[in-house]
Amino acid sequence: MRARPVHQQNAGRQPPVRRAGSTAALLAPTPASLLQLQRLAGNASVTALLAGWGAPGATTVQRQLAPGMYVLNARGRLRSEGSRHPKIESLRPGRPATVLPNGGRKSAFKIGTSGLVENSWARTASAGPGWIRDARLDPTTLVGALDATLRGPRKPTADELRAVIAWATPDERRAAAADDAFLARAKKALDSDTYLQVLPALGVHRTPDRVKSGGPGALGHPTGHDADVAIRAELAHEVADAVKAGRQVEGEVSVVGDQDFQAAFDRQWVVAAGQKQYIGKNAWDICEAFVDVNLPKRHIWIHRSLGDLGTIIHEGMHKYADSLLRDEQIQLCNVNKITHGGTSRLDEGITEYFTRPVVVNQLKVPRADYYANEHKVATKLAARFGRPTLVNAYFNGDFEGLKQAFGKGWPVFAERLERSDWRWLLINGWM
């Protein structure tokens, strides 16, 4: 015989009286059993059951979806945690949302006359956190959430896309970063600058597609996380203040192919740095990697098939450095009409001075003789004025301390170095 639904069984019957110690009281539904019934049969069944048991007033059943990525299947609202739960944001169908651990919070919404609650603690790309009805949320992947953002009524900002990415797991980011079809859709939907900001947020990290002499070959490049570990292990004391300031490689580096490398190169060096001599030239013929030193977000760009295992360490060192030394040296070049291509000889030499021990001691591989002359000059400076002086000038912004230690001959020395006058530097004992 087919059992009637709960609400039909109880129709027209007086609710049983629950007396202490009675069998009815012992069999009364618990919050756990109500939640289980809610998940299996929905709110209507729980409402009928509570009515049958004579539950006084509205009873709430708290339900929280598993943390992760979701999209709205209908119009909804993101509501605040306040007593009346005022609306934070109106949400259209297809809008992505991220369910977060609720930290023990309990919503107090009353749905219809049942008083049952099905809300999860969540946030959207532009607002939150707050409460969203569970019934409005369908699970999705990070790619699904980003695609939903791209399909919105307007182009999303880089900050909105980063907000979606920020709540994804590392595995979800890796999956999205490796999804060529999604990246192609993103490139088509976004302007170039926004698209380029998405790549480091995802941690795009391509393996080599062609092996050139001196390239990383099948080994590829270390991750940003591995670069941070190596730099901080070797230079723990030296980079302590930089670490406190939030400087790091992880989340700031992209290992990319020709097209993205070219777009990032032109944005930084042709547009932001004004190096017009690079217009129309292949970026990979000019450099293997670089940092967006003239942009608000100083991201690292590495060509997937160029450089070696130490390339990310050298570029990562630029991230840990204070910008003052480089900026002043570039200004010196501009005042004295020195062709610099956007880089400083002093800055590159000191960068390489700190890079080599990290590569050799932490990565356990030899370091090619990059910036050979500049490295010799930096080594001489450290020997003459002390390594701490170089540390403070490079990592901590005390460039004036290095200049004062050098003395009145600094202006001539600095100019000769930026002009790459290696003969003068050798004769004067700086190489």
Cis, bond preceding 129 (omega within 30 deg of 0): yes
pLDDT one-digit tens code per residue, 393-420: 999 999 999 999 999 999 999 999 999 9
Coil, helix or strand at residue 416: helix
pLDDT one-digit tens code per residue, 28-53: 666 566 666 666 666 566 666 766 66
107: number of CA atoms within 13 Å, CB side?
27
Distance between CA atoms of residues 123 and 168, nearest Å: 12
pLDDT of residue 226: 96
Coil, helix or strand at residue 369: coil
Q: Which residue(s) pair with 289 in the sheet?
A: 302
Positions of the chain with pLDDT under 70 = 1-48, 50-63, 83, 108-117, 212-215, 217-218
Contact 254, 262 (CB under 8 A): no
In the sheet that holds 300-303, the strands lie side by side as 253-256, 300-303, 289-291
Range list of H helices, 29-113: 31-41, 43-52
pLDDT of residue 62: 59
